Structure 1
Amino acid sequence: MRLEVLSAVKIVYAELVRLDRTAAILEETRGVLESMEAIARSRYEVGQGIQESVLKAQTEILKFEAESTRVAQERLEVEARLDAAVGRAAGTPVGPATVALTGELPEDTDSLVQSAVAGSPRIGALEAEIRRSQASAGLARLEQKPDFIWSASYQYRGDLDPMVMGLFGVRLPVHKARKQAQAVAQAESELIAAQQDLTDRQIRTTSAVRELAARAHRSERLLVLYEQGIIPQAANTLESARASYSVGRIGFLDLFNDLKALLDARKDQASLETERIQALAALEPLVARELVQVPQGGDAAGGGHAGLR
């Protein structure tokens, strides 16, 4: 239960981190766009630019404001989910999500699957149910077999010789055969059903672990591409475009497209990091151990590091 609660809190908090990062990226990009709008206006005022560029910049600034409003509203919804996850009163203030959760996925996915299957309470309960069903089926089969009866007695008769008697017999289940056959059939049916439930649960658990592990691996690989290639390249392209625009070598639309490409790449990076952390957190209750760590002194629940402990 503790791991399930921690997992839920981490998943929600990771979403809060994404939203706050997105809000910061939007604010920073809006500042760049406002400087671009100022340049476009200056160029238009001296006859070196066109009014369309100014209007385009102003329109995009309004779009940024709208997206920032949407992100802020979504944050309120996530705050409510976080309050519910940690059992706090609704509306409890949640500060900026500045603590980045960390975690690594073990390389051996098979070991995660084994841990999940071995540590699953549901699988353990089904295995116990199978053992009970096997015992019931065994007893039901015994009831179909004859009962062997043996007894002995000794009688003291005073002056006469003592009497010793022995009895051996067989009780055949003739009159109860049908009832006993039904009991055996029911016990075996319950055993088969329990075995099928166990197999189904093992398959579901294995599938869930492998799916979450694959999601985490995918996010990790894409993050490397974004951090080492896509984002640096987009940033360099934007800087080159800004220099070219300032001297009139390219138009405003080309410059804006480069700005939008960098914005989208940074937002994608934040989403991928959140997806990676959420996949690891979702694995925790399955494999019965923590995979996502909260830095010491962090405030991942809006109430100190102890909020996650």
Structure 2
Amino acid sequence: MAALGADAAEADAEALARNLALRIEAAYYELYRVQRREELLHAFEEQLRQFESAASTRYEVGDGSQQAILKAQVERGRLEMQRENLRAERESALQSLVRLTGRSDLEAPTQPVDVTVPSNLEEVGERAGEEAAEDRPEAEALRRRIEQAESEMALARRAYWPDFTVGAAYTDVRRDDLTPTMSGRDAFTLSVGVSIPLWRGKQEARLEEATVERHRTEAELEDFRLGVQAEVRDLRERIGRQQRQLTLLGEQLLPQAESSLEATLSAYKAGRTDFLDLLDAERTLFQLQLKQVDTHVRALQTAAKLEYVLGQISLSGDRP
């Protein structure tokens, strides 16, 4: 029973390590998301400065309106507010990593390290959930506890049996201790005893408790298996949906937004459109780029969770 308990505790420790690895990976992806957003915000701000400079030039020569300049300044002010929020989010994500890794000297990378979504997760089969449920350390811990409960049941049943005792004693008789009736020889005695468990309430309660514990653990193991299978199906569907969204953004929406911006910029330079149309085209591209970053990070976190559920998450430290 003690050995089985030790095996269960070892499996619990393995499960805890895997869960910690998942939390560290998710925290890093959150930091990655914030840094990528900061890069996009900086690029958008640089574009606004150029647009504002062009609007100022046209206004000075009487070919533009002051409204365009004010609109650009307002937009830059909104970006400054977003930058402050991103700074707070970056610090929060970094502190999460510090807490999870136990490294107080941890610093965020100056540039976000590009991370791609693992492609092999698209090949996860229908039976992957069943196989993962058996291989996970949580399932191993529960199986060991079931065996431990069965051992406790066997031990409780033995408590119904009588206990037999056999004893032997040797007495060294010293001459100073002799009485007139003693022969002076050392004594050797044998004893046999039996203990009959007449009061069975304690034994019955112990057996019932062990039986209930086994049934409870078996139900917990079955619930864990079903939960893993359902979670694998959900994560497979989720990552497939996120991959389709990334494809739509990368192959259709972003190229269209870039083409629209180029056309609007050419029209603005030729005087065929106003500054607000140009600003709206740039803002649309910026929002789609932010959407792409957020979707990419959600896909990374979903992939990490799926690897964790499948028991494939890395504990070697070679992941970002």
Does the pair score TM above 0.5? Answer: yes
**Which residues of 2 match residues 158-169 of structure 1 at below 5 A?**
none
Per-residue displacement from partner, 1:149-185 (whole Å, max 9, x unpaired)? xxxxxxxxxxxxxxxxxxxxxxxx9976777765654
Return the letter of the residue paired with 1:221. R
Contact residue 220 and residue 276 of structure 1 kept, 8 A: yes
Query: Which of 230, 241, 259 is residue 264 of structure 2 equivalent to?
Result: 241
Contact residue 117 and residue 299 of structure 2 kept, 8 A: no
Contact residue 139 and residue 221 of structure 2 kept, 8 A: yes
Please give the alpha-carbon distance, in whole angstroms, between the structure 2 residues aligned to 1:89 and 1:180.
Answer: 54
Change (3 A) 1:9 1:139: closer
| Structure 1 partner of 2:220 | 197
| Structure 2 partner of 1:212 | 235
Q: Does residue 26 of the first structure (1) align with residue 41 of the second (2)?
A: yes
| Structure 2 partner of 1:154 | none
| Structure 2 partner of 1:115 | 131
Report the alpha carbon displacement of residue 248 of structure 1 after superposing the two structures with TM: 2.5
More displaced 10-residue stretch of structure 1: 254-263 or 115-124: 115-124
Q: Does residue 38 of the first structure (1) align with residue 47 of the second (2)?
A: no
More displaced 10-residue stretch of structure 1: 178-187 or 252-261: 178-187
| Structure 2 partner of 1:295 | none
Per-residue displacement from partner, 1:253-293 (whole Å, max 9, x unpaired)? 2221211111011111111111111112223333222489x
**Which residues of 2 match residues 1-309 of structure 1 at below 5 A?**
1=14, 3-90=18-105, 92=107, 94-104=109-119, 105-134=121-150, 185-290=208-313, 308=319
Contact residue 145 and residue 217 of structure 2 kept, 8 A: yes
Contact residue 141 and residue 184 of structure 1 kept, 8 A: yes
Return the letter of the residue paired with 2:300. I
Return the letter of the residue paired with 1:115. E
In the alignment, structure 1 segments of 5+ residues that lack a partner are: 148-172, 293-304
Please give the alpha-carbon distance, in whole angstroms, between the structure 1 residues aligned to 2:282 and 2:107.
Answer: 37
Report the alpha carbon displacement of residue 49 of structure 1 after superposing the two structures with TM: 2.2
Please give the alpha-carbon distance, in whole angstroms, between the structure 1 residues aligned to 2:273 and 2:19.
Answer: 54
Return the letter of the residue paired with 1:266. Q
Contact residue 84 and residue 90 of structure 1 kept, 8 A: no
Return the letter of the residue paired with 1:39. A
Please give the alpha-carbon distance, in whole angstroms, between the structure 2 residues aligned to 1:110 and 1:227.
Answer: 29
Instruction: Please provide the CA RMSD for this pair.
Output: 3.2
Please give the alpha-carbon distance, in whole angstroms, between the structure 2 residues aligned to 1:40 and 1:205.
Answer: 58
Per-residue displacement from partner, 1:182-217 (whole Å, max 9, x unpaired)? 565444433332222222222332333333333222
Please give the alpha-carbon distance, in whole angstroms, between the structure 2 residues aligned to 1:205 and 1:228.
Answer: 34
More displaced 10-residue stretch of structure 1: 12-21 or 226-235: 12-21
| Structure 2 partner of 1:302 | none
Please give the alpha-carbon distance, in whole angstroms, between the structure 2 residues aligned to 1:20 and 1:71.
Answer: 8
Return the letter of the residue paired with 1:207. A
What number of residue pairs does the alignment pair up?
271
Please give the alpha-carbon distance, in whole angstroms, between the structure 2 residues aligned to 1:25 and 1:223.
Answer: 17
Change (3 A) 1:95 1:307: farther
| Structure 2 partner of 1:297 | none
Q: Secondary structure at the match of 1:110?
A: coil
Q: TM-score, normalised by structure 2?
A: 0.72
Return the letter of the residue paired with 2:137. P
Return the letter of the residue paired with 1:263. F
Return the letter of the residue paired with 2:81. A
Change (3 A) 1:190 1:238: same
Return the letter of the residue paired with 1:258. A
Please give the alpha-carbon distance, in whole angstroms, between the structure 2 residues aligned to 1:206 and 1:75.
Answer: 35
In the alignment, structure 2 segments of 5+ residues that lack a partner are: 1-13, 163-195
Please give the alpha-carbon distance, in whole angstroms, between the structure 2 residues aligned to 1:55 and 1:195.
Answer: 69
- Identity among equivalent positions (%) equals 25
